[in-house]
Structure 1
Amino acid sequence: MLASVDGAIGPAEQARVPITDEGLLRGDGAFEGLRLYSGRPFGLGEHLERLRSTTAGLRLEYDESALSHEISRLLEAAGPVDGVLRIVLTRGGRRILFVEPLPHRPRIARVGTVRYAPNRITEGLKTISYAANDLARRLAHEQGFDDALLVTPHGRVLEGATSAFFWVRDGRLRTPPLEDRILESVTRAKLIAVAGADEEVCTLDTLHGAEEAFLASSVREVQPVAAIDDLQLPAAPGPVTLRAHEALRQAIEAEIG
């Protein structure tokens, strides 16, 4: 696994940042993660635009030109790999990049709901303060599930711990609206555009009429969901899920060639 810290490329296990960096001490920073296909990043422009939005929201300055150059150099050094490019910007002023293998995930997921209240002050920002998201996944794992589905105390379904959530009712693909203070996922936006998903408020009661569901993210693409808590979905994957995944794959192939 290769890493770049402020332009210095080397083995990730040898990369170093000062222990006084408030990115480490306080989780104060921004990050992006995107998929590499034979070394080619998908959606890099959209991810960098969201990074700009996050850093603006955090009042975190960074050198965009240097970051762009360092991304190119790291991808060239990594070669034609299938993996994940991580971009991390810290309050201490560090630009951290690394290329890592794709994580192992089951082809079809069973998800458990975890109560969650979005943080208004960081609404829409992709920060490195991910302790709550990771804890949600651990809580779901403790109950025997593969991943977590975040649900407000009032029962509104939001998103996965690190993914967007889609479900199907009456043969139509749907996803919770951004107004519910979910992350503006790059993959979510792409699926809405290429698969025709509708934004619609979702509750736990709503899901009892669901025909299919899936999680979506840059790294996992589309992961069908077979069960939500004790609710067994009729199809995993179902026809709408398969069509959505194929539409996403076509968009990926059209961009990276």
Structure 2
Amino acid sequence: MGLIIYLNGNYVPEEQAVVSVFDHGLLYGDGVFEGIRAYHNRVFKLEEHIKRLYESAKTIMLDIPLSMEKMSEVVLETLRRNNQRDAYIRLVVTRGKGDLGLDPRKCTKATVFCITASIQLYPEELYNNGLITVTVPTRRNAGEAVNPRVKSLNYLNNIFAKIEANLAGVPEAVMLNNEGYVAEATGDNIFIIKDGVLITPPVYAGLLEGITRNCVIEIARTKGIPVVETLFTRHDIFIADECFLTGTAAECIPVVQVDGRSIGNGKPGPMTHSLMKAFHELTETDGPQIFPE
């Protein structure tokens, strides 16, 4: 059997979950989305994801026709209807059906859909052995253009970088901002560790303020690990003791080589392992239950 999809107030079989070819999400990438995870019968950081969705929508002046509480229930009910306790959730709000012009005022009602399925960005051996990455020519969007803090459907910037990673024969790429500072990976935030300090770019460097990113920062501080949000360059990655990426789909994954330079001893480091372990432990207890137990 196929999946059950939430679409504009109804739960329908996936083959019936269709949108108009005049939807501006399709025509122009005009919309916002969230990727969310369910673990062990709980939706991890659901409140934070819903809040970010509505913040993204506010910035692009997109009216979501559901309250935040109702949207949370949509996520939970879609999981229930698919009998899923562990899943990847894609929650999408588009500008809706309009005409072939750009004017968003022609779109009278947003389109909302929720997909609950599965995802695996990287094979298990890369979590054990670490990623090899490169930096790429494509720069991260400037905040005055398509602000990276808005999780919009307009992801071509990230896709260009992913294509460049593919051409280089590596699974992931590091993106710089227009000033040459490290911003993030194609779909994940980046951390380095140097002399016992956890370092990550500040959000103003041109990155999405990741839910997993913030979670790892909180975990580190709970463990007494100093955390610094500051600008840094590729040089700082090359001389780091450890490096890892974070994201909802990727979770926490070590990086062991960037642009041909081994990070530390070329193996995932102890602090990375410790933070990965603590993150997975948190997913077992955080978030609302899907099925009451």
Normalising by the smaller structure, the TM-score range is over 0.9
Partner of 2:142: 119
CA-CA distance at 1:250 after TM superposition: 2.7
Judged with a 3 Å threshold, the aligned counterparts in structure 2 of structure 1 residues 79 and 38 are, in CA distance, closer, same or farther, namely farther
Displacement of 1:219 in angstroms is 1.8
Matched, 1:94 2:111: yes
- The structural deviation recorded for 1:141 is 1.1
Q: Which runs of 5+ in 1 are unaligned?
A: none
User: Which residue of 258, 267, 272 corresponds with 1:241?
Assistant: 272
Query: Partners in 1 of 2:86 and 2:72 — Cα distance?
Result: 20
Give the number of equivalent residue pairs.
257
* Corresponding residue of 2:4: 2
Separation in structure 1 between the aligned mates of residue 281 and residue 4 of structure 2, nearest angstrom = 29
Task: Find the partner of 1:254 among 285, 288, 291.
Answer: 285
Does residue 11 of structure 2 align to residue 14 of structure 1?
Answer: no
State percent identity of aligned pairs.
30
Aligned CA-pair RMSD: 1.7
The letter for the 2-side match of 1:75 is L
Residue 133 of structure 1: how far off its partner (Å): 0.6
Give ranges in structure 2 of 5+ residues lacking alignment.
97-109, 222-226
Give the superposition deviation at 1:162.
0.6
Contact 1:2–1:100 under 8 Å retained in 2: no
| The one of 209, 233, 239 aligned to 2:239 | 209
Partner of 1:137: 162
What is the match of residue 87 of structure 2? 83
- CA distance in 1 between counterparts of 2:162 and 2:119 reads 18
User: How far is the alpha carbon of 1:119 from its aligned partner?
Assistant: 3.0
Q: Distance in 2 between matches of 1:255 and 1:91?
A: 32
SS of structure 2 residue aligned to 1:4: strand
Please state whether the residue corresponding to 1:187 is helix, strand or coil.
helix
2:172 aligned with 1:147: yes
Q: Deviations over 1:143-191 (max 9, x none)?
A: 0111111113443111011111011111221111112121111111111
AA matched with 2:257: A
Larger deviation, residues 8-17 vs 140-149: 8-17
Distance in 2 (alpha carbons) for counterparts of 1:8 and 1:135: 35
Task: Look up the equivalent residue of 2:134 and give its one-letter code.
Answer: G
| Cα separation, 1, equivalents of 2:142 and 2:208 | 11
TM-score, with normalisation over the residues of structure 2?
0.82
Letter matched to residue 22 of structure 2: T
Note the C-alpha offset of 1:6: 1.0
Task: Please tell me whether the aligned partners of residues 173 and 240 of structure 1 are also in contact (alpha carbons under 8 angstroms).
Answer: no
Query: What SS does the aligned partner of 1:97 have?
Result: strand
What is the deviation of 1:227?
0.9
